[in-house]
A and B are shown apart, each in its own frame.
Chain A
Amino acid sequence: MSNALFTKRLSKELVDLKINPPVGIEVTEADTFKSWKLTLDGVDGTLYAGERFTLEFRFSPNYPMESPEVVFTGNIPIHPHIYSNGHICLNVLYNQWSPVLSVRSVCLSIQSMLSSCTCKEPPPDNNHYVKTAKASPKQTQWSFHDDSV
Chain B
Amino acid sequence: MQYSASTTPLRSPYMSSSTSALHLRVDFVSEVAHCHINSPQHITRQVDTECALSELESELKCSVCKDFYDVPMSSKCQHTFCAECAKFDYNNKKTGLCCPTCGYSFTSFTQFYKNTLIEDLIKEYKSNRESIAHLYALGKQAEERECREEKEGSIKATNSNSNCNFNSSPFGGTTKSKCASEKSIHKNDNDGNGQKRKRTDDNDNKLLPLNKNIRTSNNQLCKKPKIAYGLMNEKKLKNLLKEEGLPAYGSKNEMIARHSYFINLYNSNVDATIPKSKGELLRDMKKWERAHQSNEAKDANLIKKTLTNSEEINSYVISPNKYRNQFAELIQQAKINKRRRETA
Contacts and interface: CB of A to CB of B under 8 A. Distances in A.
Contacts of B285: none
Given A7-B14, A96-B190, A99-B85, 18 more contacts: A7-B15, A8-B24, A8-B67, A9-B66, A11-B27, A12-B67, A13-B66, A19-B50, A33-B14, A33-B15, A62-B90, A65-B90, A67-B92, A98-B100, A100-B63, A100-B100, A116-B196, A149-B191
Interface string A9-47: 111111110111010000111111110000000000000
A149 B193 contact: yes
Contacts of A102: 66, 188
Interface string B4-15: 011011011011
Interface of B: 2-3, 5-6, 8-9, 11-12, 14-15, 17-18, 20-21, 24, 27-28, 31-32, 35, 47, 50-51, 54, 63-67, 84-85, 88-94, 100-101, 103, 178, 181-182, 185, 188-191, 193-194, 196
8 A-B pairs with the lowest CB-CB distances in the bound complex, closest first = A112-B193, A65-B90, A100-B63, A98-B100, A12-B66, A99-B64, A4-B20, A33-B12
B20 to A, nearest CB: 4
A94 interface: yes
A41 to B, nearest CB: 16
Contacts of A76: none
A18 B3 CA distance: 8
Interface of A: 1, 3-16, 18-20, 22, 27-34, 61-62, 64-67, 90-92, 94-102, 104-105, 108-109, 112-113, 115-116, 149
Contacts of A99: 63-64, 85, 88, 90, 100
Contacts of A112: 193-194, 196
15 contacts: A3-B21, A7-B14, A9-B64, A11-B9, A28-B2, A62-B90, A65-B89, A66-B91, A98-B100, A98-B101, A99-B100, A102-B66, A109-B193, A112-B194, A115-B196
A105 B41 CA distance: 30
A30 B66 CA distance: 19
B84 A1 contact: yes
A102 B66 CA distance: 10
Contact of A4 (B24, B51, B90, B92): B24
A7 B88 contact: no
B338 to A, nearest CB: 86
Contact of B18 (A4, A29, A66, A94): A4
A143 B35 CA distance: 45
A149 B189 CA distance: 12
A98 B190 contact: yes
Nearest to B196: A112
Contacts of A95: 92-94
B62 to A, nearest CB: 9
Contact of B64 (A32, A90, A100, A104): A100
A30 B21 contact: no
B14 A20 contact: no
Contacts of A16: 66, 181
